[in-house]
């Protein structure tokens, strides 16, 4: 399984999480094996919103081949596009680093983001 976590820096699992998916400068991409153990971690530079808005970021993440995203915040258009594309979006606002939120995921403590949880802007 490949998971993308929007982050502020390229510090891998020590990276501070970004408060909003679409404006995160980096994505920490984690690969887990069948037993849920980490097999690889990489920092991927995110793309700018630019003239394409969130569409640029959505297409970039879709191209990374991730199965899930763990975010502190995401608008409705990205949530719907990812859900339609088969990517599960999980929400958590309680922890500060990519490693901490990954641990919550591995412990089964994260819920899927619902449309009611999406940012409105």
The CATH number assigned to the domain holding 40 equals 3.30.420.130
Domain assignment of residue 90, given as a range: 2-114
56-64's contacts with Cβ under 8 Å and 24+ in sequence apart are 57/21, 57/22, 58/82, 61/4, 61/27, 61/87, 62/87, 64/2, 64/4, 64/27, 64/29
Q: Does residue 39 belong to any structural domain of this protein?
A: yes
pLDDT digits (tens, 9 = 90+) for 70-120: 998 887 888 888 999 899 999 988 889 999 999 999 999 999 987 666 666
Global pTM?
A: 0.91
Above pLDDT 90, what percent of the chain?
Answer: 61
Q: Of 70, 52, 69, whose CA–CA distance to 61 is shortest? A: 69
Angle among Cα 39, 42, 47 to the nearest 5 degrees reads 145
Q: What are phi and psi of 71, to 5 degrees?
A: -130, 155
């Amino acid at each position: 399984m490949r998971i993308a976590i929007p982050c502020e820096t390229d510090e891998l699992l020590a990276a501070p999480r970004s408060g909003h998916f679409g404006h995160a400068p980096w994505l920490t991409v984690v690969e887990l094996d069948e037993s849920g153990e980490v097999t690889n971690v990489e920092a991927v530079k995110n793309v700018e919103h630019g003239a394409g808005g969130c569409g640029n970021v959505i297409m970039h993440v879709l191209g990374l081949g991730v199965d899930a995203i763990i975010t502190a915040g995401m608008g409705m258009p990205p949530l719907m596009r990812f859900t339609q594309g088969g990517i599960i979006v999980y929400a958590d606002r309680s922890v500060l680093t990519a490693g901490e939120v990954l641990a919550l995921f591995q412990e089964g403590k994260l819920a899927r983001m619902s449309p009611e949880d999406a940012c409105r802007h």
